[in-house]
Amino acid sequence: MDEYSLQTILADLPIPAIQHFKITGSTNDIAMAWCETNAADGSLVVADTQTSGRGRLGRRWITEEGSALAFSLLLRPTPAETRHLGLFSALAGLAVSQALKNDFDLDAEIKWPNDVLLKRRKVCGILTEAVWRGSLLSGLIVGIGINIAPSSVPPDKELLFPATSIEQELGNSVEMSQFLHSVLTSFFVWRPHLGDSVFFQAWEKHLAFFGEWVQVKTGFAANQEDSIGQIIGISSKGNLRLRSASGEELQVTVGDVHLRLVHE
C-alpha cells in the first residue's frame, strides 16, 4: 500500500486526510500527535509495519510488513457521541465483524470489551484513546489491528489468548487495501447508530460466549477477586452483564474475559 493508492481506494469515504507509513512505532501515537493540530474528523493513519503498537493494559502489538492491517482513525466526536465514548471499541468491533461477513462470509464474534474472534481465536484487537485539553475532549483515536496473513500470528507461547488470521481461516490470500475499505465503510455506516437500540442489538448478537460461564479478571492487585458468572448481555453503558451462581446480576466495567472451563 501507499498513500496515493489508499487515497484512490478510499475516495468514496468521509476520510479527509491520510498518512501512510512503511514503518512506524504506533499508528495511535501518530494519530494522537496529529490530533493536536487542525486534523479533521475521519483522518486516517495506516502503517505497513508497526514496531511498538499497543493493546489494552500496556500489551504490545507488533505488525510485520505485509502481514496485518494496522491503522488508526482520528475522530472529533460530536456532543452526542461524547456521551458514548466507551462504546467506540464496540463500534469498531461491529465494523470489523460486518466486513468479515460481507467480504468473506466469515462469522465473527466480539469478545468484550475489544477483540474480534474467528472460531474463538483472536483475529483483531482494538484500542481507543481519548485526547484531552484540560477537561475538554479534543479527539478520540480508534486503533485497529487485524491479522491478515498467518505470519501475523505470534507463537503460542507468546499469546495470552489463542489467535488466528483471516487467510488461515479462508485458505487463500486477502487484498488488504480492499478489506480496509470494507472495514471503514462499515465503521461509518454504524457510527450514526452509536448507543441506540439497533447498535446494542447487533453487539449482543455478535457477543462472544453469550450464555456461557466466564471468568472476568477485573483487577490486577493481589486482593482483587475475579468476577464469575454467565454472560447475559450488555448494559446501556457498555458494561458486561453477568448472572452469578446465586442469580444476582453483576455488571463489569473493565476486565478481560476468559471462558470458564468448569460450568456452574
Strands 136-147 and 249-252: unpaired
Residues sharing a CB contact under 8 Å with residue 78, sequence separation 6 or more, in sequence order = none
Q: Render pLDDT for 48-70 as a digit per residue (tens, 0 to 9).
A: 998 866 655 445 556 677 899 99
- The burial of 173, by beta-carbon neighbours within 10 Å (0-12 exposed, 13-18 middle, 19 or more buried), is given as exposed
Q: Are 131 and 140 in contact (CB under 8 A)?
A: yes
Strand, coil or helix: 209:
coil
Q: 166 near 146, Cβ under 8 Å?
A: yes
pLDDT level of residue 131 (50, 70, 90 thresholds): very high
Cell of residue 97, nine digits: 465483524
Q: What is the mean pLDDT of residues 98-110?
A: 98
Dist. CA 120–CA 255, nearest whole Å: 18
pLDDT at 27 over 70: yes
Could you tell me how many residues make up the chain? 264
Question: Each residue of 227-255: pLDDT tens digit?
Answer: 899 999 999 999 999 999 999 999 998 88
Q: Which CATH superfamily includes the segment(s) 3-206? A: Bira Bifunctional Protein; Domain 2 (3.30.930.10)
- Region 159-168: mean pLDDT is 89
Nearest to 117 by CA among 128, 109, 127: 109
Q: What is the pLDDT of residue 218?
A: 67
CB 196 within 8 A of CB 130: no
More confident call, 114 vs 219: 114
Provide the pLDDT for residue 187. 98
**Span 188-206, mean pLDDT?**
97
Q: 47 is written with which cell numbers?
A: 502503517
H helix intervals, the chain: 3-9, 27-35, 79-82, 88-104, 166-170, 176-190, 197-206
Q: Running DSSP on this structure, what letter comes out for residue 42?
A: T
User: Which of 66-70, 105-109, 165-169, 214-218 is predicted least confidently?
Assistant: 214-218
pLDDT at 59: 54
Query: Which of 54, 3, 12 shows the shortest CA–CA distance to 32?
Result: 54
Give the cell for residue 207: 457477543
| 54 or 12: which leads in pLDDT | 12
Q: How far apart are CA 67 and CA 45, in angstroms?
A: 17
In the predicted structure, residue 8 carries a pLDDT above the cut 80? yes
Residue 193 confidence (pLDDT) above 90: yes
> What distance in Å separates the CA atoms of residue 244 and residue 153, rounded to the nearest whole number?
34
Q: What is the pLDDT of residue 262?
A: 45
- Where do you find CATH 3.30.930.10 in the chain? 3-206
Q: Are the C-beta atoms of 114 and 94 separated by less than 8 Å?
A: no
At which residue does the C-alpha cell 487495501 appear? 177
**How much is the average pLDDT of 141-157?**
90
Residue keyed to cell 476468559? 258
Query: Fold for domain 213-259?
Result: SH3 type barrels. (2.30.30)
Q: Where in the chain is the domain with CATH 2.30.30.100?
A: 213-259
Report the DSSP pairing between strands 108-111 and 256-259. Answer: unpaired
State the average pLDDT over residues 108-117: 95
Amino acid at 63: T
Question: Residue 264's pLDDT band (boundaries 50, 70, 90)?
Answer: very low
What value does the mean pLDDT of the chain take? Answer: 90
Q: Give me the residues paired with residue 69 across strands.
A: 146
The residue-averaged pLDDT of 153-163 equals: 77
